[in-house]
Amino acid sequence: MSNDNVKVKHVVTLFEEVQNRYVNKLLSINEKHLTSDERYKQKIVIYESYIKDLSLQTRLLLQSLEELEKEANQRVGLLENKLKKAHASLQHSLPSNDISKPIDNFETEKWKIIHENLDLKHDMDCLVSFINIAKRTGKWNTKQLQLKTLPLDNIIGTTDDKINHHSSSLHKEIQYGDDHMQVLQAEIQYLRKTQAELSKPISSINENEFKEKNLVLSKKTDDLRSKLAVECQKTETLKMDIRIKTTELKDLQEDLNKKKKQYEEHIHDLSTKLKTISDRHRESTTIINNDNKIKKQEIEQLTKQVEQIATERSELHRQCCVKDSIIADLQVKIHNVEQQFIINNHPVIPIELTVSKIEYEKLHQELHITRKQLDETMIEHKIVIYESYIKDLSLQTRLLLQSLEELEKEANQRVGLLENKLKKAHASLQHSLPSSDISKPIDNFETEKWKIIHENLDLKHDMDCLVSFINIAKRTGKWNTKQLQLKTLPLDNIIGTTNDKINHHSSSLHKEIQYRDEHMQVLQAEIQYLRKTQAELSKPTSSINENEFKEKNLVLSKKTDDLRSKLAEECQKTETLKMDIRIKTTELKDLQEDLNRKKKQYEEHIHDLSTKLKTISDRHRESTTIINNDNKIKKQEIEQLTKQVEQIVNERSELHRQCCVKDTIIADLQVKIHNVEQQSIINNHPVAPIELTVSRIEYEKLNQELYLTRKQLDETMIEVNRC
């Protein structure tokens, strides 16, 4: 008996040591300087391993308990049968020699039970050593486990549900056996010791430990209640956010309707005013189209020249490469012949000064690098020019927009006066002005047409920018207005400040929902821990009253069920809130897209009408500046093209010169080869390869070409820095 108690205490200490080991691991993680994510990940790994170890320990203990309970039931059945036989023998008053037979049977049964107890003690020792090895190594090695009373499959092969169900039925059977053995205890004193040994529970829990666990559970239930209160408060805040979003939707809808009415009225007024002006623009379009055709033809001619010269340059470059390969082959051949002469102790007659092939290759590589740098700097120079051109255009569009905003206010007042003035001017021009005076309105109309064309290009650019902006917003779900760059409209008139608010609000809601999901996971983990502790405390003990234990377990189970139901309700509420928030965000996005689309349409229409009015009202003041700007732009384009043509022509001439030089080099090398071959024929010696060399003239030419390329590179760098 005392030996069994010692073993049970030893198993309990083993469990406590395992628990302390995992607690120390968790404390060591808290002491380390880690981020919150890494700390949580390591804790999760430790918790998972701890849960696996605990489940394995409980499985082993339950299986051993099951086997012991089976043996106890078998022994109780045997004892009941023997008691029945004893009662029958006493009733029939058997003689004394017949009474000795059951006594002998009891002695044999005692002997069997003693041996079975020894086997059970052996199995308990094996299990204790098995748990010790598992605690030291961290692995459950079942190969070295040798049991006498239990098969190995019964220890590691059953599931938790079957074990729990079977253990509950065995508990009931043991209780029935204990009651029946108390009745038989008065008749058979011989079996009292074995009955006490079999009826004693395997493990006992101290009352203090049970109280401590109950206190821990009560604290955790209180924590869960407080967390549920916090979750309820957060749901209320989410509801308030949804209400705010609905009010924002209503306000946006009302704003949309108001702006729609305003834009329609404005468009109607401007369209009526522009009917009289549209006829005069028809005449100006033909003149502007003719001018544009002439300039396009000039630009096309220049581009064709550039392409033709570029093809010629590429062809010359290819020829240079071919001649370089021919020169290299000839030089190799010459070097082979010279080497053979050196081997045969014949002096080589120098034809011209040579340079080592390695130095020539270094110089050629350096020339290639400088050419590459020159190409890169030319590209950078072009990029800088294009950027400056774009900046100038954007500045012009901004100035035009500012003037548009200033003149839109005056347009409604001056339209009547302008119409009267235009009618009078038209009549006076038809009756009295000569042909020289008629050319001025034509020029003004040309400038107006040019301005309209450029504004149409800007509007197309803005349209493409807005389309890409909407596509990005559909994909990402965010309105990133920082990358939106418009030319004709200011950003505040397009989207206002509602997008930033909506993005900020939706991001805060997503963060809140993510925080709630993480909080729910923590609560579910704590509930699982409470379930495990409740399952551990639900085992019957000898030192605690079963009724009190059941009542406490019922109370704890009710509390956990209530908390579980509340958490389920909170999860449902959060899911519904998430769905509501998603619906509201989609509605906001759709409404914002509709608002932006309609606003864009109205703004474009108003912009077109207002630009036409503006060009007519300010044509006498702005016509000269527009014409000068147009001429400057065209001149710049033509100058750039002419520079490119000149540059390509120079490159072509340089390549042609290089080809001529290489032709002379090839001729010299061929002469040299012929002389060397003649000398080899005279001496009747075979030719062998020697060290590769290059003509000194070629080396100097390559060096001069490198100098010119570097000079051109420096000039382009200076131009880039100026830009």
Determine the pLDDT at residue 255.
Answer: 79
Determine the pLDDT at residue 195.
Answer: 43
> Per-residue pLDDT averaged across 264-284, rounded?
69
CB 608 within 8 A of CB 408: no
pLDDT grade for 315, boundaries at 50, 70 and 90: confident
Going by C-alpha positions, the residue among 594, 579, 596 that lies closest to residue 509 is 579
Determine the pLDDT at residue 49.
Answer: 77
> Per-residue pLDDT averaged across 440-457, rounded?
51
Least confident range from 314-323, 401-410, 552-561, 627-636: namely: 401-410
> Per-residue pLDDT averaged across 224-242, rounded?
70
Distance CA 316, CA 657 (A): 10
pLDDT > 80? residue 715: no
Reported residue count of the chain is 723
pLDDT > 60? residue 348: no
Sign of the CA dihedral running 475, 476, 481, 484: negative
Sign of the CA dihedral running 397, 403, 406, 409: negative
Secondary structure E strands in 114-171: none
pLDDT grade for 615, boundaries at 50, 70 and 90: confident
Higher per-residue confidence, 377 vs 723: 377
Going by C-alpha positions, the residue among 120, 142, 136 that lies closest to residue 60 is 142
Determine the pLDDT at residue 29.
Answer: 81
pLDDT grade for 70, boundaries at 50, 70 and 90: confident
Long-range contacts from 252-261, C-beta under 8 angstroms, 24+ separation: 252/498, 252/588, 252/591, 252/592, 252/595, 253/591, 255/595, 256/591, 256/594, 256/595, 256/598, 259/598, 259/599, 259/602, 260/598, 260/602
For residue 93, the 8-state DSSP code is: T
Determine the pLDDT at residue 645.
Answer: 64
pLDDT > 60? residue 344: yes
pLDDT > 70? residue 347: no
pLDDT grade for 504, boundaries at 50, 70 and 90: low
Tokens standing for residue 522: 């923590």
Determine the pLDDT at residue 163.
Answer: 39
Determine the pLDDT at residue 37.
Answer: 72
Determine the pLDDT at residue 703.
Answer: 73
Higher per-residue confidence, 121 vs 632: 632
Distance CA 632, CA 372 (A): 32
Determine the pLDDT at residue 394.
Answer: 46
Distance CA 655, CA 309 (A): 12
pLDDT > 60? residue 395: no
Average pLDDT of the chain, as a whole number: 63
pLDDT > 60? residue 426: no
Enclosing H/E stretch for 162: helix 160-184
CB 34 within 8 A of CB 42: yes
pLDDT > 60? residue 359: yes
pLDDT grade for 334, boundaries at 50, 70 and 90: confident
Determine the pLDDT at residue 99.
Answer: 46
Determine the pLDDT at residue 449.
Answer: 46
Determine the pLDDT at residue 601.
Answer: 74
Provide the percentage of residues in the chain whose pLDDT is more than 90. Answer: 0
Higher per-residue confidence, 687 vs 377: 377
Determine the pLDDT at residue 38.
Answer: 79
Sign of the CA dihedral running 651, 657, 661, 662: positive
Instruction: State the angle between helix axes of 696-722 and 357-431 in degrees (0 to 180), rounded to the nearest 10.
Output: 40
pLDDT grade for 26, boundaries at 50, 70 and 90: confident
Determine the pLDDT at residue 706.
Answer: 73
The whole model's pTM is what? 0.21
pLDDT > 70? residue 333: yes
Going by C-alpha positions, the residue among 591, 509, 566 that lies closest to residue 251 is 591
pLDDT grade for 311, boundaries at 50, 70 and 90: confident
> Per-residue pLDDT averaged across 106-130, rounded?
65
> Per-residue pLDDT averaged across 80-92, rounded?
65
Going by C-alpha positions, the residue among 142, 415, 116, 449 that lies closest to residue 285 is 449
pLDDT grade for 587, boundaries at 50, 70 and 90: confident
For residue 32, the 8-state DSSP code is: S
Determine the pLDDT at residue 357.
Answer: 66
Distance CA 712, CA 634 (A): 27
pLDDT grade for 107, boundaries at 50, 70 and 90: low
Backbone φ and ψ of 102, nearest 5°: -60, -35
Strands 354-356 and 693-695: antiparallel
Distance CA 121, CA 127 (A): 10
Determine the pLDDT at residue 139.
Answer: 63
Determine the pLDDT at residue 170.
Answer: 44
Q: According to the per-residue pLDDT averaged within each range, which of 116-120, 186-190, 535-539 is highest?
A: 116-120
pLDDT > 70? residue 32: yes
pLDDT > 80? residue 369: yes
Task: Scan for tokens 């205890």, then name that residue.
Answer: 185
> Per-residue pLDDT averaged across 58-74, rounded?
69
Distance CA 723, CA 719 (A): 6
Provide the percentage of residues in the chain whose pLDDT is more than 70. Answer: 33
> Per-residue pLDDT averaged across 363-383, rounded?
71
Determine the pLDDT at residue 428.
Answer: 52
Triad 153, 155, 160: Cα angle to 5°? 105
pLDDT grade for 41, boundaries at 50, 70 and 90: confident
Distance CA 344, CA 720 (A): 59
Determine the pLDDT at residue 422.
Answer: 45
Determine the pLDDT at residue 278.
Answer: 64
CA Rg, the chain, in Å?
51
Least confident range from 262-271, 290-299, 384-393, 600-609: namely: 384-393
- Report the 3 state secondary structure along 418-466: HHHHHHHHHHHHHHCCCHHHHHHHHHHHHHHHHHHHHHHHHHHHHHHHH
pLDDT > 80? residue 63: no
